[in-house]
Amino acid sequence: MPPEDRADGWSTVRSLGRPVRYPPGTVVTTQGDAVDTLHILESGFLALSVAVDDEERLIGFVERGMIVGGMDYFGRCPRSSTTRALTETHTLLVRREILEDLLASDAAAREALAHVVATGSRLFIERHVRYSQGSIAERVGRVLLDHLDDSGPSSDTGGAERVLSTPLRQKHVADLVGAGPRAVGLELARFSAAGLVDTGYRARPRRLRVLRPAALSRLVDHDDS
């Protein structure tokens, strides 16, 4: 979300959007297609993937309030990734021709859109760098910590444990950290044995929980205090 001084411009951009619902598994945008629409994520989870050697590889997620295809839009190039709904997802769909008419006449809307796109791109790059550094355990830990649910403790007792906001699977984590699913599975098993996570193996729907976020953070950051 943009800062307060750009809130009005962002509201104007959002007002152009048409609400659209996508069931789980729906492809929202496809790599290589022309960017004739933008999507603002309202709720749900969108996974970004690219085709590598005829295989779809996850590269990240779209956060609530962020835009799908913003950099491709400004660069006037085809879509650089495929976007798929992991759960029921709601977006605001903005058509390019309508948006361009607004941006040509409204500087506040233009600045607000550029801010949201730049913020999302910066977050994506920062996470990509963090997920490529350190041991596999450290990289996996960073992915888990970055996707915790911010709504608060998941237990009735108000404990420290937190569920993941994103329905991550082992293959997703492996793609993000650049390791094989087996290697990621071994690290998750070690985290579970140390009491850091509950992989949710017996839960339905399966949802990974971080039982001791502070301890996992210390492991990732090499903080022994």
Place of tokens 């090499």: 222
pLDDT at position 166 is 75
> What is the average pLDDT across 6-22?
92
Whether residues 102 and 156 share a domain: the answer is no
Least confidently predicted of 14-28, 90-104, 105-119, 197-211: 197-211
Does residue 164 share a domain with residue 86? no
Say which CATH number the domain at 170 has: 1.10.10.10
Tokens 């021709």 appear where? 97
**Do residues 35 and 59 share a domain?**
yes
One domain, residues 36 and 120: yes
Predicted confidence (pLDDT) at residue 161 exceeds the cutoff of 70: yes
Task: Report pLDDT digits (tens) over 25-51.
Answer: 999 999 999 999 999 999 998 999 999
Based on the fold, state whether residues 59 and 114 are members of the same structural domain: yes
Stretch (H or E) spanning 166: none
Sign (positive or negative) of CA dihedral 167, 170, 172, 176: positive
- Assign 3-state DSSP to the chain and report helix, strand, coil percentages, each to 5: 40, 25, 35
Q: Is 148 left (phi over 0), alpha (psi -120 to 50) or beta?
A: beta
- Is 158's pLDDT higher than 70? no
Q: What is the CATH number of the domain that holds 38?
A: 2.60.120.10
Specify the pLDDT at position 168.
81
Determine the Cα–Cα distance for residues 12 and 15; give it in Å rounded to an integer: 5
Q: What is the pLDDT of residue 155?
A: 44
Contact between residue 210 and residue 196 where contact means Cβ atoms under 8 Å apart = yes
Clarify whether residues 27 and 118 are in a common domain. yes
The CA distance from 173 to 179, in Å, is 8
For residue 154, name the pLDDT band (cuts at 50, 70, 90).
Answer: very low
One domain for residues 32 and 50: yes
pLDDT-derived band at 109, boundaries 50, 70, 90: very high
pLDDT per residue as tens digits for the range 170-201: 889 999 999 999 999 999 999 999 999 988 76
Rounded Cα–Cα distance for residues 20 and 36 (Å): 16
Give the domain-ending residue among 73, 96, 128.
128
Query: Measuring CA to CA, how many Å separate 135 from each of 157, 171, 194, 217, 220?
Result: 34, 18, 17, 14, 9
Same domain as 108, residue 8: yes
Prediction pTM value: 0.83
Residue after which a domain boundary falls, among 97, 112, 128? 128
Residue 57 — φ and ψ, nearest 5°? -120, 125
Please state the domain count of the chain.
Answer: 2
How far is the C-alpha of 109 from the C-alpha of 112, rounded, in Å? Answer: 5
Could you list the residue range(s) of the whole structural domain that residue 79 is in? 4-128
Burial class (CB in 10 A: 0-12, 13-18, 19+), 42: middle
Q: What is the pLDDT of residues 117-140, one digit of tens each?
A: 999 999 999 999 999 999 999 999
Please give the pLDDT value at position 202.
Answer: 64
Same-domain check for residues 19 and 116 = yes
